[in-house]
Structure 1
Amino acid sequence: MRLIFTSLASYGHLYPLLPLAVAARSAGHDVVFATAADFHPTVEKAGLEPVDVGLTIQDAFMAQYDGDLRKRNEVSPAELEATIARVFSRVLPDRFIADLDAVFAKQLPDLVVYEIGNPGGAFAAMKAGIPAMGHGFGRVATGGIADGIRKAVEEHAIELGITGEERFSWGNPFVDICPPSVQSPEFLAGARRLPLRPVGWSEPGDLPAGVAGRSRPLVYLTLGTTPMSQAHLLTSAISALAALDADVLVATGPSVDVASLGEVPANVRLEAWVPQSELLPHVDLVVHHGGSGTTLGAFTAGVPQLVLPQGADQFSNAEAVAAAGVGDQLVGDAVTTEAVREKAQRLLTDSAVADAVRALAAEVAAMPSPDEVAAQLPDYV
């Protein structure tokens, strides 16, 4: 069977699809991964064949602001939300549709697996009459800007002649990597779910020295891979966590210059990048932005979380973490050095949180593996 997987060109959107794509290839299927060229090296490292479609999220926004992303700070919140909705409902989907149409003409797949943030993959497949399947990248966010984007996508779908009773994936099956107990109830009520255990994916690499064999807790701090102004928040969080009787490992990400953070206390280590999926099982607490990859990775590894959401689906993830009792959140002006320190200290020692974390990790472990789900894919053609 020939399969085309397609996702937006972003770590948080692409990584969640790789375990199933690799499992499908291992099961003997012909697998191609369609995304923008910037992420082809990542696809190739997973042993998959890439094909160039779409454009990066960064390039899509650059086009909206005449090549100067600083202009985003000059518009009202309403104008910014409208631009975000346009990028994810029009700009990116239209490019993916056009590029995938050309790919389908050359190599007609039996099934298209599209990442749910990439509706262009769904639209291209449905227009071509090819069976399609959605694939989640985390908890399905509802409310706020997520609903605005979804409404704009639905309007675009109707214009293309695509309709479906189920508002999250147009009636297509949906590979859901979020454990049901923390998934959106609204989504659970209507989706044709195909559960899949969230399997962490990161490019191979060595763990930083000293991760194993420690005598005190290890706190992992990350604000993800999405470009944004993060240095000030990292500086504040580092100051808070350094006051704990713990070691602190900070993944600064690609948008922060490590040198800009200055001198750090002796118990803090700065790394531009770490193999997160390999690191999490060694961690005692994750302090992070609420990205889906880190949130689900901590669920899987059984690690408490302190979430400092900054945008997108991060607020929804933070609320789910707090509601499940597996962590806590600090939002907006509540993110102070003292508050971060106090919350982190409690999460490192709270037995009720530890019990909830273990229960959620057990729920994740009981979900079907990528190999098990890959074996079911021919049933959806």
Structure 2
Amino acid sequence: MRVMLTVSDWTTHWLPMVAQCWALQAAGHEVRVVCAADQEQAVTRAGLTPVPVLEGGDQAVKVRTYNHARALEGRWPFPEPPPHPVTGAPMASPADFDATAWMEENWERLLGMARRSADAAVSFARWWRPHLILHDLVSIEGPLVGRALGIPAALHLWGPTGPDDRVPGAPPGVGFVPLDVYGLFERYGAGTMDADVHDLVIDPSPPSLAPPLRRAHRLPVRHVPYNGPGAMPSWLRERPDRPRVGVVWGTSVTRMFGPSSFAVPRVVEALAGLDVDVVLTVTGEDLDSLGPLPPRVRAVAHLPLRLLLADCDLVVHHGGAGCVMTALAAGVVQLALPNALDQELIGDRLAQAGGARALHNAVATPAAIRGAATDLLQNPAARAVAARLRTEMEQAPTPAALVGLLEEHAHGHRG
């Protein structure tokens, strides 16, 4: 069986699919990953074969454009204006950028990129003739190829966010399914791109956190964390005589939400007064901005989260699905400091299930962070919920067990 992946140009969107690809390859099936050029190295490092033919639009630009719209509507929570949607530079006022004028000036360029990507994905599929397509939530090329060429497709979720979810606080109807603003489906006579395009959804979330699905069939799978390659350092085997707290902060957060969204200094201040060991996974400019670190605070780079979180008593993060799912698989309690979009949605679902707390980053003061962290570290009920969620995940079929079901899905369409 030939399996074609189409992935967006945000690496953490497709990393949860890697274990399923390994299982397919181990069963003797061929896997190709249709991606943008900036994903080629990450795909190769994951042991998969990239087909870098897409012209991916920068996901950070899309998020910053959304943030700019929120600011114009008076719904921006941080003290300074959001970063410039295109450049990411600071802005004195949201009025400094005219989104309508920019779109008019760049429409033909963006339309050309979208059409060339769609054409490249369809062309590759016609040449390679895959039996099955897997894709992430915001990859429009996967469902397009499936509908245009009559190939069975399956959406693989990155966490507790689904196609029928709506963006918290956004106008009605704004969700996580990509809008076909360039008419790609019409171009190929493939119907309409909406949540109903998905027939099969592979869901790695524990049942207690599973997103709603209106019509698609849900196929549960055990989440096997993959956060990129990396070695296990010797200090990680030396268990401290006090709780260990992991602090995970995505490098993209500041680029999308601005300097005030960089919560790590507040988190370090909050945890410095507690009898805990702290490990920060912060790199680049974010790390340089911290200055000297307090005692018992260690900064690490390029350490896969699955190695760190397996030995933590608490993890503090920005609510990104990659960290959330890795923490769930490790059975560790979580403190989420979300900013917007799926971070808020996931944070709310975590808090409602128990075993976690969610504080919006814009109002997460050091005192509030310290109080939440103290409560979670001392709360046996939270630890019990985290352990239950881990058990829920472990009881789901493994990626290897799903191979046969995916084979049936592919052959059923062909039969």
User: Which residue does the alignment assign to 1:104?
Assistant: 125
User: Which residue does the alignment assign to 1:324?
Assistant: 353
The SS at the match of 1:287 is: strand
User: Which residue does the alignment assign to 2:250?
Assistant: 224
> What is the rounded CA distance, in whole Å, between the counterparts of 1:205 and 1:331 in structure 2?
31
Distance 1:225 1:7, change over 3 A: farther
User: Which residue does the alignment assign to 2:77?
Assistant: none
Aligned: 1:349 with 2:378: yes
Q: Is the 8 A contact 2:200 2:219 kept in 1?
A: yes
Q: Is the 8 A contact 2:278 2:297 kept in 1?
A: yes
Distance 1:137 1:246, change over 3 A: same
The SS at the match of 2:279 is: strand
Distance 1:98 1:331, change over 3 A: same
Structure 1, unmatched stretches of 5+, are: none
**Shift of residue 12, structure 1, vs aligned partner:** 1.3
**Overall identity of the aligned pairs, in %:** 28
User: TM-score with structure 2 length normalisation?
Assistant: 0.81
The SS at the match of 1:148 is: coil
User: Which residue does the alignment assign to 2:43?
Assistant: 43
**Shift of residue 224, structure 1, vs aligned partner:** 1.8
Q: Is the 8 A contact 2:46 2:229 kept in 1?
A: no
User: Which residue does the alignment assign to 2:87?
Assistant: 68
Structure 2, unmatched stretches of 5+, are: 66-83, 411-415
> What is the rounded CA distance, in whole Å, between the counterparts of 1:77 and 1:308 in structure 2?
29
Letter in 1 for 2:41: P
Q: Which aligned runs of 4 or more in structure 1 are off by greater than 6 angstroms?
A: 62-66, 76-84, 89-92
> What is the rounded CA distance, in whole Å, between the counterparts of 2:327 and 2:197 in structure 1?
30
User: Which residue does the alignment assign to 2:202?
Assistant: 175
The SS at the match of 1:193 is: strand
Q: Is the 8 A contact 1:322 1:328 kept in 2?
A: yes
The SS at the match of 1:216 is: coil
**Shift of residue 81, structure 1, vs aligned partner:** 12
Q: Is the 8 A contact 1:116 1:136 kept in 2?
A: yes
Letter in 1 for 2:247: L
> What is the rounded CA distance, in whole Å, between the counterparts of 1:268 and 1:120 in structure 2?
43
User: TM-score with structure 1 length normalisation?
Assistant: 0.87
Aligned: 1:337 with 2:366: yes
Q: Is the 8 A contact 1:4 1:112 kept in 2?
A: yes
**Shift of residue 204, structure 1, vs aligned partner:** 2.5
Aligned: 1:379 with 2:405: no
C-alpha RMSD of matched pairs (Å): 3.3
Please show how residues 52-63 of structure 1 align to structure 2 within 5 Å: 52-58=52-58, 61=61
Moved more, 21-30 or 224-233: 224-233
User: Which residue does the alignment assign to 1:201?
Assistant: 226
Moved more, 308-317 or 121-130: 121-130
Deviations 1:257-289 (A, max 9, x none): 422210110111112332112221111101000
Aligned: 1:123 with 2:144: yes
> What is the rounded CA distance, in whole Å, between the counterparts of 2:51 and 2:23 in structure 1?
19
The SS at the match of 1:376 is: helix
> What is the rounded CA distance, in whole Å, between the counterparts of 2:360 and 2:96 in structure 1?
18
> What is the rounded CA distance, in whole Å, between the counterparts of 1:82 and 1:201 in structure 2?
41
Letter in 2 for 1:148: V
**Shift of residue 241, structure 1, vs aligned partner:** 1.4
> What is the rounded CA distance, in whole Å, between the counterparts of 1:43 and 1:162 in structure 2?
28
**Shift of residue 98, structure 1, vs aligned partner:** 2.2
**Shift of residue 374, structure 1, vs aligned partner:** 1.6
Deviations 1:185-233 (A, max 9, x none): xx24432111111111022222344323221111011122425245741
The SS at the match of 1:286 is: strand
Q: Is the 8 A contact 1:27 1:375 kept in 2?
A: no
Aligned: 1:153 with 2:172: no
Q: Is the 8 A contact 1:116 1:169 kept in 2?
A: no
Q: Is the 8 A contact 2:280 2:297 kept in 1?
A: yes
The SS at the match of 1:13 is: helix
Q: Is the 8 A contact 1:40 1:50 kept in 2?
A: yes
Letter in 2 for 1:142: R
Q: Is the 8 A contact 1:223 1:289 kept in 2?
A: yes
